Amino acid sequence: MTIKRSLFGVIHGISALLVAFFLFTGMAYAAHPDVSDSEDAIQAGQSLFNANCRTCHRLDQNYTGPALRGVTERRSLDWAKRFIVNSQALIQAGDAEAVALFREYNNIVMPSHDFLSDDDVMNLLAYIEYGDTAEASAGAAGAEGTAEGAAGGIPSEYLTIILVVLVFVLLLILVVLGLIVSVLKKYLSQDQDLDQDDKEFIDQKTDIKKVFTSDAFIIIITTIVVALVVKTALDGLYNVGIQQGYAPKQPIAYSHQLHAGEYEIPCQYCHTGVEIGKSANIPSANICMNCHMHIQNVDGKEGISPEIAKLYDAYDNNKPIEWVRIHNLPDLAYFNHSQHVAVAGLDCQTCHGPIEEMEVVYQHSSLTMGWCIDCHRNTEITTQGNEYYDKLVQLHSESKDALKVKDIGGLECAKCHY
């Protein structure tokens, strides 16, 4: 075992060395001799790269723009410098290479960098050619890290496993006890010197029929059944008119878990009405297209995902996407989002639950009147920056509870029903 492992280690080490050697030698021949490989130049170039290039370029992969390493080998040094400083000037001058590159990358305009001095550009090229050879592998390691992190939260599965094991253990104990009883019985029945009482005790058989017909049994079972039936009936009655848990299938399988959870897009980016109007608003397709103009699939897969294709279809043909409304407050009650979000400063999750974890959105709260009133009774109002309430707040702090929503009309019928 240990020999095998050390052997493997040696081979691994050698292969790593070989890879590093090839990488290094490959680079050494690639770059233009004028490009410095000094540590200072690379360092200076790195900070310039991070500030100005990193959002579109990677050293070793094509991204929004092409991979940059080896640029001084592929092109002339002068061309590379001119392209970096002002690519549009080069393209408009009709430089064939520049125009071809511009076309290849979907006519994306690279901003001019005429604020960079000649030294700056040379430092930048030093970083591009010699900097960060570990970048690619670091990226891969990062991806692995997040995958592991995502797999961490599965306690509910463990719970089921624990329960199953427990039930199994209990059954096992039952079987063992049964075995012990029968063994003891056999042993005692061989013994002849027993009293009459003891013999009866040993030979007694549980008469199942008698148990089932006994009064106690019937009463217990009837009570349990009646209690269960009554509970289901009452629960059912309380659920009439409540849509808690409603999770309809939407025309596009949009995942809040991905958008709001993983990518942390704030709710207001799409639900633009939430601070300024009664409704939070469902975004129109043009808001989706702000990102999906460029993102056509999830997890970096190739091609267009079938769900995103539905979005493109709606956008190209000017068709509205008919999302199914989930939170249907009865017509008899008035609710206004801006009052709760902009004025009271509530988080969306207070009423809508853990939206950022929902693959399919469901109605989290009951939205009953009791639920509204409960919150109005317990919530202190935010009065910062609003002098209108200063005296009320002061009075409340002196005499009784803090100023709650209920104290400024939060329980008035006509606040919501009119």
Residues at the interface with other proteins (CB under 8 A): 51-52, 54-56, 63-65, 108-109, 111-113, 115-116, 229-230, 232-233, 235-237, 239-249, 262-266, 268-269, 272, 276, 278-279, 281-282, 284, 286-287, 289-291, 293-295, 319-320, 323, 325, 328, 330-332, 363
**What are the structure tokens assigned to 103, written together?**
């076309």
Residue placing its CB nearer to other proteins in the complex, 78 or 331: 331
Residue placing its CB nearer to other proteins in the complex, 89 or 202: 89
Give the whole-angstrom CA distance, residue 280 versus residue 327. Answer: 11
Cβ 101 to other proteins, closest distance in Å?
A: 15
Give the whole-angstrom CA distance, residue 68 versus residue 46. Answer: 13
Residue placing its CB nearer to other proteins in the complex, 89 or 287: 287
SS3 state of residue 291: helix
Cβ 240 to other proteins, closest distance in Å?
A: 5
Question: How far from 224 is each of 30, 75, 212, 228, 237, CA to CA, in Å?
Answer: 83, 85, 15, 6, 20
Cβ 276 to other proteins, closest distance in Å?
A: 8
Instruction: Classify each residue of 111-122 as buried b or exposed e, where b means 16 or more C-beta atoms within 10 Å of its C-beta.
Output: eebeebeeebbb
**What are the structure tokens assigned to 61, written together?**
């992969």
Cβ 412 to other proteins, closest distance in Å?
A: 20
Cβ atoms of 127 and 42 closer than 8 Å? yes
Cβ 94 to other proteins, closest distance in Å?
A: 22
Provide the 10 A C-beta neighbour count for residue 30.
16
**What are the structure tokens assigned to 185, written together?**
């019985």
Residue placing its CB nearer to other proteins in the complex, 15 or 112: 112
Cβ 379 to other proteins, closest distance in Å?
A: 21
Cβ atoms of 23 and 59 closer than 8 Å? no
Give the whole-angstrom CA distance, residue 351 versus residue 336. Answer: 13
Residue placing its CB nearer to other proteins in the complex, 133 or 268: 268
Residue placing its CB nearer to other proteins in the complex, 106 or 399: 106
